[in-house]
Chains A and B, each alone.
Chain A
Amino acid sequence: SQQGEEDPQALSIQEGENATMNCSYKTSINNLQWYRQNSGRGLVHLILIRSNEREKHSGRLRVTLDTSKKSSSLLITASRAADTASYFCAHVGFQKLVFGTGTRLLVSP
């Protein structure tokens, strides 16, 4: 399986704190994507980082990519209760869109 892995599996923080999630993958990539899933729903695209980029920002999101280590991280700054969700990284390998195992984030007021 080409499925990537994410850690931690679960993360619990207080509002206002930063949340960092890590993702590892197994194949060469053109880009890596991060998605968010609210409980029992489909996934929503958050941000894409290309293989020739090392860091990308979008609002309170910061993504880094290290292709030599085949890893990426997602940082959510100044978290809010509404950020509570599961977060997944994804990449295309051999035409397949492959997801990691996900990180469950709980932000408490």
Chain B
Amino acid sequence: DVKVTQSSRYLVKRTGEKVFLECVQDMDHENMFWYRQDPGLGLRLIYFSYDVKMKEKGDIPEGYSVSREKKERFSLILESASTNQTSMYLCASSSNTEAFFGQGTRLTVV
């Protein structure tokens, strides 16, 4: 059973904290993605990676960074969390024909 696993289902952090969201896939996919999902806005792409140590900005990269040191792991980093980063964060990995998603991390920044 293929799997994308996100490290936390729910997370509460304080403004200014550094936050790490981890994502691991077991399908040997080269492509991995981080999205945030907010009501009425669909899924917006933050960053993606098509290979180890490679990263590309998506549509809303401001306030975020990523790390891809190993093929199976793609980490999203909020350098200094702010309340407007409260959201659902979704990680995905994909072949050319299908994406597989983690269960999502609902992050609240207070």
Main secondary structure of the interface of A (DSSP, over half): strand
- Identify the closest chain A residue to B104 (Cβ): A42
* Residues in chain B near residue A99, CB distance under 8 A: 35, 42-43, 45
> What interface size band does chain A fall in?
20 to 34
* The residue from B42, B90, B94 contacting A42, defined by CB atoms under 8 A apart: B90
1/0 per position for A93-109, CB-CB distance to B under 8 A? 00111111110000000
Q: How many residue pairs bridge A and B at CB < 8 Å?
A: 68
* Residues in chain B near residue A6, CB distance under 8 A: 42
* The residue from B33, B100, B102 contacting A45, defined by CB atoms under 8 A apart: B100
B62 within 8 A of A: no
Main secondary structure of the interface of B (DSSP, over half): strand
- Give A73-93 interface residues, CB cut-off 8 Å to B: 88, 90, 92
Q: Determine the distance from Cα of A28 to Cα of B15 in the docked complex, in whole angstroms.
A: 41
- Give B90-104 interface residues, CB cut-off 8 Å to A: 90, 92, 94, 96-104
Q: Which residues of B contact A (CB under 8 A)?
A: 4, 31, 33, 35, 40-45, 48, 50, 56, 58-59, 88, 90, 92, 94, 96-104, 106
Can you give 23 A-B contacts (C-beta < 8 A)?
A: A1-B59, A2-B59, A3-B42, A3-B59, A33-B97, A33-B98, A41-B103, A41-B104, A42-B4, A42-B90, A43-B92, A43-B99, A45-B99, A48-B97, A95-B50, A95-B56, A96-B48, A96-B56, A97-B94, A98-B45, A99-B35, A101-B40, A101-B42
